[in-house]
Amino acid sequence: MAKGEITLIIGGARSGKSSLAEKLAGAANGAVVYVATAGVHDDEMAERVRQHRLRRPDKWRTVEETHRLPGVLLTLPRGAVVLIDCLTLWMSNLLLDDAKEDYIIDQARGIVQVARNRQLHLIMVSNEVGCGLVPEYELGRVYRDVAGRVNQLLAELSDRVIFVVAGLPLELKTPAGGSGTKGI
């Protein structure tokens, strides 16, 4: 991972995105800051968070932030290795607090701007939510649409984009600006 490189890892639920992101972060040079966006509101989510924590090395620093990601990135050391997991939870947190799409897109753009300015080695995890059924309720449709637009923006702004399906990574965009179909 090059200095200041930004990677977006995207895929469906339980596709292996987080495991791949953790592997890439661990292979990067430097201490890792894990930015967790999940709010814990029930026992099932608490168990998911517990499982994620068990997978991470003890030496990784964990920062819990459900809303203000650009602000958190500003507090991290220049050149740090940062893993944000997961952007779609972050988007749902903002939507549930009545944030509008334009605000969320501006915040997503801000994540990349701060990462570039601070030369962070940023790895972002996001769900691809547009491949399933059309959500029955308006909030679900808004969430799907916002997530799709934010993912498109972040893919455009990232140096590297990896799509994960059934645990298999497919590199869609390489740091050299190309695209390909090779696995990792």
Q: Helix (H, G, I), strand (E, B), or coil: what is residue 119?
A: coil
pLDDT given at position 126: 98
- pLDDT (tens digit, 0 to 9) for every residue of the chain, 184 residues total? 566 899 999 999 889 999 999 999 999 878 899 999 987 778 888 888 788 788 888 899 999 999 999 999 999 999 999 999 999 999 999 999 999 999 999 999 999 999 999 999 999 999 999 888 888 999 999 999 999 999 999 999 999 999 999 999 999 999 875 555 555 5
pLDDT given at position 41: 76
Q: What's the whole-model pTM score?
A: 0.91
The rounded distance, in Å, linking the Cα atoms of 91 and 61 is 23
pLDDT given at position 40: 79
pLDDT given at position 2: 61
Residues placed in the known binding site for GTP: 11-18, 36-38, 53-56, 64, 85
pLDDT given at position 172: 96
All structural domains of the chain, each given as residue ranges with its CATH number in brackets, are: 6-173 (3.40.50.300)
Q: Is 52 a catalytic residue?
A: yes
The string of pLDDT tens digits covering residues 43-61 is 888 888 788 788 888 899 9
Mean pLDDT of the chain: 91
Pick the catalytic residue from 41, 52, 67, 121. Answer: 52
pLDDT given at position 184: 58
pLDDT given at position 123: 98
H-state helical runs in the chain: 17-27, 43-55, 69-74, 87-96, 101-117, 138-157
